[in-house]
């Protein structure tokens, strides 16, 4: 089972993600980001590439897609909040989105 991040690790790993546009979700121990692409094909391509990482990490996002917009929320349900898996997947998603 994946463990929830402690305060020090959380602050260290969360800081660069907040700087790149991720935000803490009010009322939940989760982070969220909205990715906007030029069109549906680019948005769907991002989701397909991100899905491969999610499978590899065995960690799956809460997400939705409407046309060229992908909204993502990350948390580790088993851990009851943010874990290293969320930080890793968020970092991978940022890299995929370019």
Strands (E), 1-98: 23-24, 31-36, 62-66, 69-74
Helix (H, G, I), strand (E, B) or coil at 42: helix
pLDDT digits (tens, 9 = 90+) for 2-44: 899 999 999 999 999 999 999 999 999 999 999 999 999 999 9
pLDDT band at 72 (very low <50, low <70, confident <90, very high): very high
> Residue 93: which of 56, 67, 66, 40 has the closest Cα?
56
Domain ranges within the chain, ordered by starting residue: 7-97
Please check the confidence at residue 45 and state whether its pLDDT lies above 80: yes
Tabulate helix, strand, coil % of the chain (nearest 5): 50, 25, 30
The hierarchical CATH code for the domain 7-97 is 3.30.1360.20
> Residue 87: which of 35, 48, 31 has the closest Cα?
31
């Amino acid at each position: 089972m994946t463990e929830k991040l402690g305060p020090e690790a959380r602050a260290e790993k969360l800081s660069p993600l907040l700087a790149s546009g991720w935000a803490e979700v009010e009322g939940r121990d989760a982070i969220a980001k909205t990715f906007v692409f030029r069109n549906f094909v680019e948005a769907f391509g991002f989701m397909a590439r991100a899905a491969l990482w999610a499978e590899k990490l065995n960690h799956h996002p809460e997400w939705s897609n409407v046309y060229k917009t992908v909204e993502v929320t990350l948390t580790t349900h088993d851990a009851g909040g943010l874990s290293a898996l969320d930080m890793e997947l968020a970092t991978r998603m940022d890299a995929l989105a370019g």
